[in-house]
Amino acid sequence: MTTTLIEANSIESLLGKEAEDLLTYKAKVPTDLLHLPGPDFVDRIWLNSDRNPQVIRNLQLLYSTGRLAYTGYLSILPVDQGIEHSAGASFAPNPIYFDPENIVRLAIAAGCNAVATTLGTLGILSRKYAHKIPFIAKINHNELLTFPNQFDQVLFADVEQAWNLGAAAVGATIYFGSEHSTRQIQEISKAFKRAHELGMVTILWCYLRNNAFKQDKDYHLAADLTGQANHLGVTIEADIIKQKLAENNNGYGAIAKATGKSYGKTDERVYTELTTDHPIDLTRYQVLNCYSGRVGLINSGGATGKNDFAEAVRTAVINKRAGGSGLISGRKTFQRPFEEGVKLFHAIQDVYLSPDVTIA
């Protein structure tokens, strides 16, 4: 196994005042209810599924690449921000990434399991790099050039194009809770079926999007709502779920109260027996909704800020201790100098390599 570059005390230092709580907390839902990551994850989970041998091979390829190879954990570089956030907003902080080759170079230098990006980026470089790092072709996007801006994930590519350029997996986003979610579910379910037929892994960005979810708190980050989005994602046979780290809970109740209308279905035991307000419990509920961890949960790293290293390590610790399968970190890494981006990835990966960061 690859050795860590930062010691446990460095992880504690980055966690600051939260270190003891995050590193010693015992989760509400016991681990014996979960299927946890490990070197045998693909054999243990996927050999009994309906996935064909080519999908199993590509799943194993993802879990066997980079610094986290054969650990059961994933570290992925995603760069589809040039579409939704515009190329200027995404790459002006570090203009080398207008050249897509530097995106792939960063993922390789950082020891990532895979790089997830657009059809155009992967297509223009596929012959040089498809055999050097697994490609995840993101097939739908939301663009904000249309005026007025609208929030809708639309297909920019089809599954055959991803297969032709040598992708090991396809990625897609569904805005669960949005007015367009029904169409998106149908489109991506059909695309994932075709991807599996061609032997590719399926990864779903299970994001929430509805203005009603912003009340006294931003309930786009509620454990109960994001957990249900995850459950819808695994229902259409996503092999890996990408989700934002939960920061609050009881979105169902808050939205019903704020709107004065009945909303969704839940159970009081979600809040009394399955979760607390601790971030590890909130994330464990997300894992629980991924078929109890049979489908790996990777949390997103979030936007760049003043304390990126500390925030990234904190997210990784929460994800790992909750029973998640890794981190997918974009803007925090590519919106900084190349070597700093590599170091940030290594800091994240070291959490998953550290025997001192255990399952809660």
Residue numbers annotated as active site: 242
Q: How far is CA 127 from CA 66, 218, 268, in A?
A: 20, 43, 53
Structure-derived torsion over alpha carbons of residues 81, 85, 86, 87, reported in degrees to the nearest 10 = -40
The span from the CA of 289 to the CA of 136, in Å, is 23
Tokens of 74: 């994933």
Strands (E), 64-153: 74-79, 114-118, 135-138, 140-141
Residue whose token pair is 């032997």: 199
Tokens of 68: 């986290």
The span from the CA of 355 to the CA of 351, in Å, is 8
The span from the CA of 335 to the CA of 348, in Å, is 16
In this structure, what are the phi and psi dihedrals at residue 288, rounded to the nearest 5 degrees?
-55, -35
Residue 10, exposed/middle/buried by CB under 10 A (0-12, 13-18, 19+)?
A: middle
Residue whose token pair is 């999908």: 55
Q: How far is CA 146 from CA 82, 91, 142, 151, 283, in A?
A: 15, 20, 10, 10, 35
Residue whose token pair is 């760049």: 304
